[in-house]
Amino acid sequence: MKVISYNLNKHKAAGELEQLVAAHDADVLCLQEARSGDIPDQVAGLRLADATARNRLGLAVYYRANTFTPLEVRTLALKKSLHDRVLKPAEERLLGVRLHDIDHGRELIVASFHAAPLTALNSLRRKQIEAALAELASLGADLPILMVGDYNYPVFKESLGQKVRAAGYELSLSDARTYTRYRFFKGHYDFATSVGFDIDSITTLPQGASDHLPILVTAGLKTPRG
């Protein structure tokens, strides 16, 4: 399974999506900072599962219809930072979709996630990540989960990784930095948290109109025990 995650930077990179999905033959596309009212129902053969509606800049998840069947969608407004309360850029910071894998006859969960901006504390983002994973787990007992997106976590990722692993998940970074806007904050911002998946690779794709670089996650479902 190939999953692309892309923060569009206030929808600036929306025009790149068709070519991006087609070039990498993606099965799932997860977006952040998209204008929900301006995104298409389909992108290069992928169908829109859902998009957040209450956000000025929102989330969206697309899936390949001949590979997956959507079963349930869940959005969540996570604990807010001061930035969120004042500017209100994002009411909902998680969009999760429970999918049925047609070929393998199994269910899985894929989610687009956007953590609070750099003006917030890492402690708040950790709480948001914890709450997001708990919400996704409630979509189905013991289902594989892959949550990708903009974690806004440029430093102390080792500590975050330890906490994520303690909760039973894996934190996976891409092979190159994914954010370039500010000199002192360049680094890995966009990555994946998973359980029940073997992450083969996470590749940082070439930069387009966004200050974030898209990432391509290549992953497979782990074989069920028993």
- Residue by residue, DSSP assigns 96-128 as EEEEEETTTTEEEEEEEEE---TTS-HHHHHHH
Q: What is the pLDDT of residue 91?
A: 63
Q: What is the pLDDT of residue 86?
A: 39
Q: What is the pLDDT of residue 226?
A: 56
- Give the model's confidence band at 87: pLDDT under 50 very low, under 70 low, under 90 confident, else very high: very low
Rounded Cα gap, residues 212 and 220, in angstroms: 25
- Give the model's confidence band at 13: pLDDT under 50 very low, under 70 low, under 90 confident, else very high: very high
- Give the model's confidence band at 81: pLDDT under 50 very low, under 70 low, under 90 confident, else very high: very low
The pTM of the full predicted model, rounded to 2 decimals, is 0.92
Rounded Cα gap, residues 43 and 99, in angstroms: 18
**Do residues 218 and 198 lie in contact, with contact meaning Cβ atoms separated by under 8 Å?**
no
Higher pLDDT, 146 or 180: 146
- Give the model's confidence band at 89: pLDDT under 50 very low, under 70 low, under 90 confident, else very high: very low
Q: What count of other Cβ atoms lies within 10 Å of the Cβ of residue 182?
A: 11
Q: What is the pLDDT of residue 184?
A: 53
